[in-house]
Amino acid sequence: MSHDQHGHPHRWARLRHRAGHLLTPHSHTAADRTDRALEASAKGMRTLWTSLAVLGVTAAAQLAVVVLSGSVALLGDTVHNAADALTALPLGVAFVLGRRAANRRFTYGYGRAEDLAGLVIVLTITASAAFAAWTAVDRLLNPREISYLPAVAAAAVIGFLGNEWVARYRVRVGREIGSAALVADGLHARTDGFTSLAVLLGAGGAALGWRLADPIVGLVITAAILLVLRDACREVFRRIMDAVDPALVDTAEHALERVPGVRAVSELRLRWIGHHLRAEVAIVVDGELTVRAAHQVAVDAEHALLHAVPRLAAALVHADPAPVPGAPDPHVVLAHHLT
């Protein structure tokens, strides 16, 4: 079979692909990718402001009960909720920075600011766990009477419901836009919901005359906070180490293998920058193709990746010619010269 005959079905496949885009237009221009990035950042900012308002109202209601009851446990829970609300600040700064365009110093942009915000959130969860443990131990050593127990219980329920709603909202949107920091912040809100349950159970124990109920439950909740901290650390650490879901790699490989003209995928790398992915790919094409034809295969491969991989903002595709039987591998020769 001649080269022209071999390339004929490939050309027809490309024509069908382009005809499909006449019916379903889809843009991968820089402006389109910028619009998607701004949309994701705007959605993240809406989530932060909404959760900040909810937690602010929750903390204010609890603070009023603290003044009436003198409950140290509820005071600790109020501090947790206030701290959780304030974690919106570093995330908000990260989202704002992420909108800035790349420049000659930060050539990949400012998306990594979200990873730094994730570290701040992990440290905040750690501090919350330490504070909860300290409060529980102090209450064990120095038991105190709690007044206005029904009001304390009601404030604890308000704290739990507010934090759990915020946690679900942040985690859902964080996963939707690919923000590990926002997911970690949602997990942080869930830890504060656990501390509210501790206050509720402690108030119930105090109503039954068991003064040590509050600190004992507080220690149990501290252990639960540490489990959530472990999940948050794993989420943020993996993002910092450029870990991705292996299913995304499989999706990218399958998309590339279906592109006409791609003989093999020799290298595929994915990494998160903020809440968007970037890909670096090396594909193997027919060594007899012209430079223009090989470039077109690379463009088609990039297009296929942007369609197939969720939240992929850009892909750099390099086309390597298929090795001639008996000829040395150019990559091996280059490595030999470099050493």
Q: Are residues 150 and 281 in the same domain?
A: no
- Give the model's pLDDT for residue 339: 56
pTM over 0.85: no
What would the mean pLDDT of 320-330 be, rounded to a whole number? 71
Q: Is residue 15 part of a domain?
A: no
Domain that includes residue 272, residue range:
245-338
Q: Are residues 232 and 309 in the same domain?
A: no
Strand ranges, E, within 188-304: 264-273, 276-285
pLDDT band of residue 17 (cuts 50, 70, 90) is very low
- Which has more confidence, 323 or 29? 323
- Give the model's pLDDT for residue 148: 75
Q: Is residue 20 part of a domain?
A: no
Q: Are residues 278 and 133 in the same domain?
A: no
- Give the model's pLDDT for residue 38: 45
Give the DSSP letter string of 297-325: HHHHHHHHHHHHSTTEEEEEEEEEEPPPT
Q: Are residues 315 and 302 in the same domain?
A: yes
Task: List, for residues 130-185, the tens digit of each pLDDT value.
Answer: 877 887 788 778 777 667 778 888 888 888 888 889 889 988 888 887 777 788 77
Given a cut of 80, is residue 325 above it in pLDDT?
no
- Give the model's pLDDT for residue 35: 39
Edge-to-edge strand list for the sheet holding 264-273: 264-273, 276-285, 312-321
Phi and psi, residue 314, nearest 5°: -160, 150
Given a cut of 70, is residue 16 above it in pLDDT?
no
pLDDT band of residue 296 (cuts 50, 70, 90) is very high
CATH number of the domain at 265, please: 3.30.70.1350
Task: List, for residues 148-159, the tens digit of each pLDDT value.
Answer: 778 888 888 888
- Which has more confidence, 317 or 199? 317
Strand ranges, E, within the chain: 264-273, 276-285, 312-321
Q: Are residues 135 and 35 in the same domain?
A: yes
Q: Is residue 6 part of a domain?
A: no
pLDDT band of residue 46 (cuts 50, 70, 90) is confident
Q: Is residue 93 part of a domain?
A: yes
- Give the model's pLDDT for residue 96: 81
Q: Are residues 79 and 183 in the same domain?
A: yes
- In the chain, the number of structural domains is 2
Q: Are 182 and 195 in contact (CB under 8 A)?
A: no
- Give the model's pLDDT for residue 41: 64
Q: Are residues 236 and 289 in the same domain?
A: no
Given a cut of 70, is residue 1 above it in pLDDT?
no
Q: Is residue 96 part of a domain?
A: yes
Given a cut of 60, is residue 18 above it in pLDDT?
no
